[in-house]
């Protein structure tokens, strides 16, 4: 996405009509350049209203991230992070890994974007969001230990997200194993963790988070599962937190969890995670690689973050798979 598109969008954020001539004058470009700049807006979840004689306006309310505000809030909490905001990027996780590789990022680096062209989730699924209407960020955290110690890290980050959301009033926030945050059984947020470094340690985890603050219907229709956003939960008398307040709160909560995880690992969060699990002690279906399906009762997770499933053949543990409710399946009998 070209920088001029973002410059035009920021001028259109007030929701009023702006003539192409006025926009061109403000930005020091030609009228043709303005026309070209607004063409991609529909692709990034923005509805452009163009009226001859009046100009352009956008119908969505965009809530741009404010680096100074977020830095102030996290500094007050002594987070020790280095925040960088960008308008457009392929993937915050991919870019942060590149920056770690060439020395432009280090422990505590945070990269957030208003728009991702190639946001990723588990199994390389695409993460879809509208510009300036979701949170898409990655955090680098160095551990002296290797990959084995980091088992359950994505679940611990899930605890941080739910803590933060509930503290801000979203009491319906729950977790789904292994790395999703739900509202009313629909996906609100996802977590993707990628590692850089030695398998035996030290290693740096790049923790990617995508959270739907406002998700337009046309993007919801492109997602292959029920999706939620905070706007679904918000009420007229309680519109919920701004993106900036929410982002700062999530960063503070995540850093707090990471500090505890460094000392005690996932066992410190296991009980709390199970309290938040949307399908705890319910009959579930687990879709495994290769088309294999397991059903049983979700008993919680192990100290390493593996799913505990009570099946007709006894308790089994799983480290991967796609979990969903299975209310039509009978509870297995041993």
Whether residues 45 and 83 fall in one domain: no
Domain presence at residue 171: yes
Residues 146 and 45 placed together within one structural domain of the fold? no
**Under a CB-based contact definition with an 8 Å cutoff, are residues 193 and 139 in contact?**
no
Residue 303 lies in a domain: yes
CATH number of the domain bearing residue 303: 2.30.30.100
State the CATH number of the domain containing residue 22: 1.10.10.10
Q: What tokens were used for 21?
A: 């001539």
**pLDDT tens profile 30-71:** 999 999 999 988 878 789 999 999 999 999 889 999 999 999
pLDDT of amino acid 119: 66
pTM surpassing 0.95? no
Looking up residue 215, the CATH number of its domain turns out to be 3.30.930.10
Question: Which residue is associated with the tokens 């307040």?
Answer: 245
- 52's CB contacts (< 8 A; 6+ apart) are none
- Looking at the fold, whether 270 and 288 belong to one and the same domain comes out as no
d(CA 257, CA 83): 18
Domain match, 145 and 236 both: yes
pLDDT score for 126: 66
Q: Is 231 helix (H, G, I), strand (E, B) or coil?
A: helix
Residue 330, domain member (yes or no): no
Indicate whether 32 belongs to any domain: yes
- Quick check: bond before 202 cis, omega within 30? yes
Cα–Cα separations (whole angstroms), residue 189 to 43, 112, 250, 315:
21, 15, 12, 29
Asked if residue 133 and residue 48 are part of one domain, the reply reads no
Question: Could you tell me if 89 and 151 lie in one domain?
Answer: yes
pLDDT band at 124 (very low <50, low <70, confident <90, very high): low
Q: Within this chain, do residues 106 and 167 fall inside the same structural domain, yes or no?
A: yes
DSSP 72-86: HHHHHTT---EEEEE
Give the pLDDT confidence of 83-116 residue by residue, as tens digits: 999 999 999 999 999 999 999 999 999 999 999 9
The count of structural domains within the chain is: 3
* % of residues, the chain, pLDDT over 90: 72
333 in a domain, yes or no? no
**For residue 331, is it within any domain?**
no
Q: What tokens does 176 get? A: 């789904």
* Number of Cβ within a 10 Å radius of residue 124: 8
Same-domain pairing of 193 and 75:
yes
Same domain, 89 and 192: yes
The answer as to whether 257 is a domain residue is: yes
- Are residues 168 and 128 part of one domain? yes
Please check whether residue 17 lies inside any domain of the structure.
yes
198 and 168 both lie in a single domain: yes
**Same domain as 216, residue 118:** yes
pLDDT digits (tens, 9 = 90+) for 145-190: 888 889 999 999 999 999 999 999 899 999 999 999 999 899 999 9
Rounded CA-CA distance 12/41 in Å is 12
Q: Domain of 32?
A: 3-58
């Amino acid at each position: 996405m070209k920088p001029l598109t973002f410059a035009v969008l920021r001028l259109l954020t007030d929701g009023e009509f702006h003539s192409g001539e006025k926009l061109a004058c403000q930005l020091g470009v030609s009228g043709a350049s303005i026309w070209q700049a607004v063409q991609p807006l529909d692709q990034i979840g923005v509805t452009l209203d163009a009226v001859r004689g009046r100009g352009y306006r956008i119908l969505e309310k965009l809530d741009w991230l404010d680096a100074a505000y977020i830095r102030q809030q996290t500094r007050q909490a002594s987070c020790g992070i280095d925040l960088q905001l960008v308008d457009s990027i392929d993937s915050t996780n991919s870019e942060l890994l590149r920056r770690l590789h060439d020395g432009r990022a280090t422990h505590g680096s945070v990269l957030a974007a208003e728009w991702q062209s190639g946001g990723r989730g588990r199994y390389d699924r695409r993460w879809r969001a509208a510009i300036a209407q979701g949170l898409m960020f990655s955090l680098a955290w160095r551990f002296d230990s290797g990959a084995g110690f980091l088992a359950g890290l994505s679940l611990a980050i899930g605890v941080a997200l739910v803590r933060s959301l509930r503290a801000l009033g979203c009491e319906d926030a729950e977790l789904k194993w292994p790395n999703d945050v739900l509202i009313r059984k629909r996906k609100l947020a996802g977590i993707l963790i990628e590692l850089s470094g030695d398998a035996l340690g030290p290693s740096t985890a790049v923790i990617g988070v995508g959270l739907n603050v406002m998700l337009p219907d046309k993007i919801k229709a492109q997602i292959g599962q029920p999706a939620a956003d905070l706007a679904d939960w918000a009420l007229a008398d309680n519109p919920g937190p701004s993106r900036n307040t929410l982002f700062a709160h999530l960063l503070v909560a995540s850093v707090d969890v990471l500090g505890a995880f460094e000392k005690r690992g996932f066992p410190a969060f296991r009980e709390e995670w199970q309290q938040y699990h949307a399908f705890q002690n319910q009959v579930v279906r687990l879709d495994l690689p290769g088309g294999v399906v397991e059903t049983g009762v979700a008993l919680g997770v192990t100290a390493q973050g593996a799913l505990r499933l009570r099946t007709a053949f006894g308790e089994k543990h799983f480290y991967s798979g796609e979990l969903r409710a299975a209310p039509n399946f009978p509870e297995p009998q041993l």
